[in-house]
Amino acid sequence: MLYRGMEREALDAAYNNTAAVGMERRDQYVADWIARSGAVNLAWSPTRDISYGPQSRQRLDVFPCDGVNSPTLLYIHGGYWQMSDKEAFAFIGEGLLPAGINLVLVEYTLAPDIRMDGIVEQIRASINWTIENIANYGGGADRVFIGGHSAGGHLTAMAMSDPRVAGGLSISGLFDLEPIRMNYLNDKLHLDAEESARNSPLQHIPAVANPLMVTVGSDELPELIRQSQDYFHAWQQAGHEGRYLPLAGHDHFSILEELASPSGLLLSELKRMVV
């Protein structure tokens, strides 16, 4: 057995979110996100494609909420570190921006054009840029929060070691990369055992950290639910503040509505965190 009693075929299925939800349904989610993101871009006039590093995908969009010293959510998209881009996720601003929370959408270089070590470093660079520049967009440098979904949830957890990050929101994240190293996702990631260990948040709970909320849908794959549970348990054992919030009735993609919707539970919890 490769991992937790699973051979390769079972391990592939255990982490295939698209297969679990269905390609047609996944594509419907994404099409809806793209359409709504276009409307948010028109309504809020962000500053787009700001460079935060030398690589072409090291760019971000800043959506100011028109406040003063406002909190900011730096959001990292998912796609298993090898798909997607920031453009599809401006729809998250539907709830954040009217609530007085700036939104920064981050893009990063994708595998196989970069190793996991490099992706993590790019996210750290995006945090540096945001903290150093957000005051120019009405944000408070000491009120930068980080959040992300799926691979972005993993990168959020990796970034929590930065004490300047005021808090985090990890949605449907990955916290132990060892099963990733052993399944189909590694065809492009090319993780070895050492790199997997270096970039597994479960093995690197920071000694000092600000609050983190870990959330996952009840209808998600069992392995993703287990990973979230295991990580939050380790977070608590380290004595850190936070909350584990499983969301009933949500799959790996629908869960984002709880952040995007003005009445969403994740948005409500985020507003409580950023006060």
Q: Which of 116, 131, 106 shows the shortest CA–CA distance to 50?
A: 106
Whichever domain contains 105, its CATH number is 3.40.50.1820
Mean pLDDT of 48-56: 98
In a domain, 2, yes or no: no
In a domain, 162, yes or no: yes
In a domain, 1, yes or no: no
In a domain, 169, yes or no: yes
Write out pLDDT tens, residues 98-135.
999 999 999 999 999 999 999 999 999 999 999 999 99
SS3 label, residue 61: strand
In a domain, 37, yes or no: yes
In a domain, 229, yes or no: yes
Mean pLDDT of 31-36: 98
Work out the pLDDT band at 1, boundaries 50, 70, 90: confident
Q: According to the model, what pLDDT value does residue 230 have?
A: 98
DSSP state of 6: B
In a domain, 44, yes or no: yes
What domain range is 165 assigned to?
8-274
Q: According to the model, what pLDDT value does residue 44 have?
A: 97
The pTM (predicted TM-score) of the whole model is: 0.97
* Structural domain count, the chain: 1
Write out pLDDT tens, residues 71-100.
999 999 999 999 999 999 999 999 999 999
In a domain, 96, yes or no: yes
**H helix or E strand, kind and range, residue 130:** helix 116-133
- Mean pLDDT in the chain? 98
